[in-house]
Structures are given as structure tokens and as C-alpha cells.
A and B are shown apart, each in its own frame.
Chain A
Amino acid sequence: MIILLLDIVALLATLAAGILLVRAWRYSRHEILGRDVWILLVGLTGLIIFRNTSNMLEWSGITGSLDFQEDYVELMLPVAFFLVLWTFRQHESRRELRESEEKYRSTVNSMLVGIFIIQDLKFKYVNPAMARMLGYTREEIEDKLSPMDAVIPAQRELIRRNAIRRASGEPGYLYEIKCLRKDGSVFDAVVHGEGFTYQGRPASVGSFLDITDRKRAEERFRLIAQVSSDLIYEWDSTNDTLEWFGDIDGLLGYQPGEVVRTIEGWVKLIHPDDQARIANEVERHRTTTEPIQCEYHVKARDGSWRYWSDVGVPVLDEDGKPARWIGGCLDITDRKLAEQERESLENQLRQAQKMEAIGQLAGGVAHDFNNILTAILGNAELSLDALRRKLSADDPALQGLGQIQQSAERAAALTRQLLVFSRRDITQPEELDLDQTLSEMEKMLQRLITEDIALEIVCGARHQYVRADAGQIEQIIMNLVVNARDAMPDGGQLTLETATVMLDEVYVATHAEARQGIHVVLAVSDTGCGMECQVRERAFEPFFTTKPAGQGTGLGLATVYAIVKRAGGHVLVYSEPGQGTTFKVYLPVIEAPTEVRHEAGGSDPLPSGDETILVCEDDETVRHLTVHLLEDAGYTVLGADSATDALKQAAVYQDPVHLLISDVIMPDINGRKLADSLTAQRPKLKTIFISGYTSNVIAHHGVLDEGVEFLEKPFSRRVLLQRVREALDKPSQEIVPAPDA
């Protein structure tokens, strides 16, 4: 019974299989299985159905007329299975081949790259892309067109040779050609071919790509790189190769190809001070996508270092990591040098502005202080004269007054230095031969220095003259020599030398205070202790001193600086600790001298006279003192506390007024205008101006005009009387009127 059931199940299953196959036939027999396979399968299924039916009948008790046939059916089953399997396999192989061909055909036809087969120098096959590139239809090419006709005449031989080589079995290679379209236009293409056997005979198959756009882009890029001031590079961070689009070798002076095209080779060219930093940057940019932005020094072939700016951006891979870097390098050496020069000039300018500010402050204080000192000195002198007649020489009162006078004179000397520094003093420039000045000062300088210092004077600027105040030039030399002496406590060599130099525009561009032209340079060199950088930078600052307290005012070099500036020159200092110091004073050269300076004597009897003098001074103490001194010397003196008062007194005074002594700055009318007014009324009137300092009212830029008499406060009695006498004794026509405002 069980066996019967099993046979029924088997029969039903095979019947179901049969029905499936019949239904498949109904749908589309060829597409689903193939006709031959389907027939064999149906046959196999029929055999199985027959066998199962026979079994079922046998076990159901129906003796089968099918028994005989069952043995044959059983024998046919393995054969049927074999045939089904074999046919099915063949059918599937054919089907797969067909599909494969279809796949490749579709692929080739849809490719943007041209594919071709050449045999006997004829195109045997081209894909649509190839036909499109050449401007033909496939029918116009295949079996008709020769590849020789598809290139420019100059390259036909190349095509022929390559075709032969490929046909002879040589490996194919890539090459570029210029192709001709059907319409005669030319385009660039890259070709790669391989030899193979086509229809039993040698042929070549290859690919073909129109690269006209790429070539144009390359040309554009090449031109951009050529005209760009940047040197373009591509760094492949996966293998560290470095490609330069530009003449990197030529730019750094190397032979072509000498610069190694790897990142390691490049880093070796970088300055040792920058190398570690750049190596770190290289490592960092293997992972980060931040743009490259750095500056470094690169070694040129001649050993010099060029300053380069490097900017780069990453080309990312599919993981978002930098695979390559495209960047540009720019030689910024000139810009950097210009920046350094500008910075240096700015520092010099700041220093000059600072000195100017300090000078103004010092000058203001000195000017007010001068008026006070004038009164102190004058009254001390008068009191001393009066007391000497009444008291003995060792009287304490006389000694006290003497000390007051000495202290006031020291204070006056100090304020005079301040005025020089602030350029509010009055100079009397003249043409000077510095060589002559040095020679004249040699003996005095010998006395100034100690015996263990060897003095050498080298005069190399003969016949070259500068315009400066002789006394101030001597002061410069004295100050520098004293400084040199103090720098050599154990002795040494002091050299003063002059020379003529030409300062050109390059020098002027790097020295803010310099002016172009021929200069006499006075160099004062010592072999002393030298200066630290910080000391050197502040050397010209007023009140800055490295000397012990009480041994230096800190005004020596500041005065040098101010005098040199006043004379239109500049001063430089060169010094290193332990290596000595050299000060170089540059003064512009003028032509031959026109006058000879005179020295005034100091021990002659006090000059006197009986002329009439009008003294105009708003400071009461100075006025009284001046009037008193002049009256003592025998003069008739009219005192006025203002210009208005002076004009009134001159108007009412009937007798001649020979000399006007006037302060320059007064509240109502300044001294120059007063002198102009009075000279207009009294043409023979002579004038002496007095002032603690002057401004452009009386002097041009602080320099007294030649012929204008000027007396600087504080003044001594001798100086006052000498200058008054000199002015009165000059012929009237020699007195030059004060300049216009």
C-alpha cells in the first residue's frame, strides 16, 4: 500500500513537471529553454511518467501490458538524462556566447574611445566612436579606408611602419598622431594597437582617442605656467614625486634636471633653519586637507638663499584624503629684502622722531632756564664787582658769590648743550676744511687723551669743504675723542681719519637720514671695550650714559647727533663688544671756502663807548642787567620793556640812537619787526638781537643769516661789550637788515 502511495506521488510530481513544461512551451519555447532542450525534456518527463504509471499499475494489482515496455523505458532513462544534460549544456554555452558577443558589441559601440581592426592596411572594423571622430560613416570606412588616409601626410610612414611591426608580433605601444577628418580638418589623437589574428591572418586591433581638448588644455596650462610668476608644482603624496611646471633648475641656477624631482630632494635644498619645519609640514599634509601655506629659504646653485612662498591645495582621493597637491612657489626674496629695508627705515624714523621729541622738551626747558641763568650770572657778576671794592678777597660772602657764579656757568654750559641738541641754538656756519680742523686740534687732542693711548690722525679729505659751525665741529670731535678715551681705560689706539665718499641712491634708500651726494666722512675709531647692541641703539639718546654717576651727562653723543643733523649730515656707529667702536660722521661737501673764521681774544680790556643804545627786553631781570652793564661801560642807554615802548622812546628821543639791542620774542611785536620799524626811521641804526633761542623769525631754520648780529643768552659782560663795540664799529652799510618774515 505504501509503495502504491509512493508511486502515485511520483506520478503526480512528474505530471506536474510535464504541465510546467507544456505551459513554458505555450509562453515562448525558444526564449525560455530552446527548442531542442524543450523537446528532450518533454521526452524525458514522458519516460518518467510512463515508468511511474507502470509502477503504480503494477502495485495496484492491475497486471500491466506495460511490463514489457517498462524494461526498455528503464534502460532509456539514463540515456535520456544524458541527452538532456548534454544538449542543455550545449544550448547554454551557445546562449552565453551569444550574450557575451552582444555584451561586447554593445560595449564597443557605446564607447567614447574609438576601436579599430586593421588588416592589410585597411580598416576592417571600426566602432561608431571611431567613425564619428574621423567624420565618416562605418560603411565608408570598413574595407574601404586606409589608416594612411586618416593621418596627415607627414605621419603616413609612421602608420605604415607601426602596422607592419604589430603584424609581425611586436608588442604594441602608445603614440600620438595628427589625424585627418573627412572634411580635411586636423585633430590630435592617441593610439594604441596590438597585433592579433583576424579571420586567420595577421591584423592589429587598437584603441583611438581624440585628445585635441586635452592638448589645448595642456598648451593653455603650459602658457599660464610660463607667464605666471609662480612656479607651479604637483606633489604626488603617495609616491613623493614632485613635478615642476616651469624652469625650476634655471630659476635656481642649476643644470637642467639637477634638482631632484622628489619631495625628499626638495627638502634637502631648503635652508637648515627651515628644514625641520618644512619636513613637519610635509608629514602633516599627507593627512590634512588644509592648504599648504609656508615660506622658506631655498639654496640656489651659487650658494645664495632665495626666499620662497609656497601655496598649495589638495586633490582628494575617494576617501577624502589628499592624494596629490597642486601648488605654486613664488620667489619673494626681493619683497622680503624690501620689507627688511622698510622696517629698518621705520626704526630709523622712529628713532629720529623720538630724538626730535626729546629735543623739543629739552629745548623748551633750556630756553626758560637760560633767562633765569642770565639774571643769576649777571647779578652775581655785578655783586662780585661791587663787593670786591669793599671786602677782602677771602671774605666768605665773596667766596659764596663766586661759587654761585661758577655753578651758574656750569648750568649755562649744560643748557647750551641742551639747546644744541634741540637745535634751538644759533649756529654760524662757515666753510670748513675738516683736515685743517683736525690738524689744528691735534695738540689739544693729545692733551685730552691719556699717555697710553696712541693717537693717529689720517687726513684724506683735503680740498673738500663742508659747511658747519666750526665750534660745533670741534665739539663733535672733542665729544667723540673723550668717549673713545673713556672706552679705553687701559690704553689703546685712537684713530681719526677723514675721507671723501659718494653716497649714492642705493645708500640713501637704506639710510633714512642720509642724503645723496659727495660727503666728507670723519671716522673716530677706538680699540676699546665696544658696545652691546642695546647700548648702541640708545647711544644718541640724551641723558643715556653708561658711565658711572657724576662722570657723564649723557649729552655728549646726543649733541654730536644734533650738530651733525644741523649740518645736513648723519652719523653712524659701528661697534661690537670687545672689538672697539667707530663713529662715522658724514657731512655734505660744498665748493671752495669763501671766508676765514676768526677767533676772538679773551683777555683784552673791556670795550667801552659813549654812543646811545636802545635796549628792548621784556624780561625785567635781563633788561635791568643789560642796561646796567652798558651804562657801566659809558654808554647812554634807553631801556624799553616792549617793542611798543621802544618805538615810543625812539620817537621822543631827539638825539641819534646808534644801536638797538632787542630780544627776539616779545609779547606784542617781535624783535625783527621792531628793528625794521626803527631802521626805517633811523637808517643808520645798528641792531643786535639777543635770545635764549631763536626761531624762523630771526633765523632760517635756526641758522643765523650772515651779517645779522646775534647774541646768545646767557652772555657775559665781556661778550656783551665786545659784540656791542664790534657792531658799533662796523660801517653802517655792512649791517644787513633782518630778513623778511
Chain B
Amino acid sequence: MFQQNEVVTLILGIGVLVFFIGRSDLSHIPAWKTFLASYALLLLGWHFTVLEDVCLPEITNLLEHICYATSSIVFAIWCWRVVRGRREARE
């Protein structure tokens, strides 16, 4: 059955996403779409984590890790864009 901590993580993750989506001030964050994409992939991974306990554990587990890996790459890209962008702006 579902693991409690995984479900809580998923609910918190969805809550954070709902809180920020639709807020116009989100656009103040540089490269915010990239950042949001990274978070969305992470959130998707949490979905698969929960699903892993219900059905197709191998596939959902694989998908979960794919989401984590992709999310990490996108996060790294976002960090790179922010740091580079600010440095260029400063120069």
C-alpha cells in the first residue's frame, strides 16, 4: 500500500505548485519557466513514487528515476542560466 511519507511529499509538492502557478510575480524570478519545469519533473517523479506502490512497480520506478534525473539536469541548467545571466548583467 501507499507509504505515508511519499503521499505527504506529493501533497506538499502539489500545494507548492498550485500556490505559485498563476502568480504574476513568479515572473520576477529569472528563467522561471526552466525552474518551474525542473520542479514539475520532480513533482512527476513523486507521482510515480506513489504509483509504484499500486501498479507496475518496475516501470513506474524507472519513470520515477528518469524524472529525478531530468529534473536534476534542468535544475543544473537553470542554475547555469541564472548565474551566467546575472554575471552578464553585472558586466
Give residues in A with beta carbon < 8 Å to B.
2-3, 6-7, 9-11, 13-14, 16-17, 20-21, 23-24, 27-28, 31-33, 41, 45, 48, 51-52, 55, 71, 74-75, 77-79, 81-82, 85, 88-89, 92-93, 96
Contact = CB atoms under 8 A, between A and B. Distances in A.
Interface string B56-83: 0000011001101101110110111011
Main secondary structure of the interface of A (DSSP, over half): helix
Contacts of B35: 85
Contact of A78 (B12, B69, B73, B75): B12
What are the 10 closest A-B residue pairs judged by CB atoms, nearest first? A92-B28, A10-B72, A78-B12, A17-B76, A13-B72, A10-B69, A17-B79, A32-B86, A6-B69, A13-B76
Contacts of B13: 77-78, 81
17 contacts: A2-B62, A2-B65, A3-B62, A6-B69, A7-B69, A10-B68, A14-B72, A28-B90, A32-B87, A33-B86, A71-B5, A74-B6, A74-B9, A75-B8, A77-B42, A88-B29, A89-B29
B26 A89 contact: yes
Contact of B28 (A2, A20, A41, A96): A96
Contacts of A2: 62, 65
B20 interface: yes
A28 B83 CA distance: 11
Interface of B: 5-6, 8-9, 12-13, 15-16, 19-20, 23, 25-26, 28-30, 35, 39, 42, 46, 61-62, 65-66, 68-69, 71-73, 75-76, 78-80, 82-83, 86-87, 90
B76 A32 contact: no
A79 B12 contact: yes
A85 B29 contact: yes
B16 A81 contact: yes
Contacts of A6: 62, 65-66, 68-69
Nearest to B85: A32
B42 A11 contact: no
B61 A3 contact: yes
A403 B61 CA distance: 156
A74 B25 CA distance: 27
A28 B46 CA distance: 35
A9 B23 CA distance: 32
Contacts, number: 116
B86 A55 contact: no
Given A32-B83, A89-B25, A93-B28, A55 B12 contact: no
Given A20-B80, A71-B5, A93-B25, A85 B75 contact: no
Contacts of B19: 82
Contacts of A7: 65, 68-69
A77 B65 contact: no
Nearest to B83: A24
A16 B78 CA distance: 11
Nearest to A71: B5
A51 B82 CA distance: 23
Contacts of B62: 2-3, 6
Indicate the member of A7, A11, A16 with the most B CB atoms within 10 Å: A16
Nearest to B78: A17
Given A14-B76, A21-B79, A32-B83, A85 B16 contact: yes
B73 A10 contact: yes
Contacts of B9: 74-75, 77-78
B68 A92 contact: no
A92 B66 CA distance: 32
A75 B16 contact: no
A6 B61 CA distance: 11
A685 B46 CA distance: 161
B39 A52 contact: no
Contact of A52 (B66, B68, B79, B87): B68
A75 B86 contact: no
A32 B28 CA distance: 14
Contacts of B42: 77, 81
A20 B72 CA distance: 14
Contacts of A77: 9, 13, 42
A81 B80 CA distance: 17
Indicate the member of A3, A13, A88 with the most B CB atoms within 10 Å: A13
Given A13-B75, A82-B16, 7 more contacts: A3-B62, A13-B73, A32-B90, A45-B79, A55-B68, A75-B12, A77-B13
Contacts of A21: 79, 83
Nearest to B13: A78
A347 B24 CA distance: 90
Contacts of B20: 82, 85
B5 A9 contact: no
Nearest to B66: A6
Given A14-B75, A32-B90, A85 B26 contact: yes
B82 A33 contact: yes
Contacts of A96: 28
A79 B71 CA distance: 16
A55 B65 contact: yes
A662 to B, nearest CB: 124
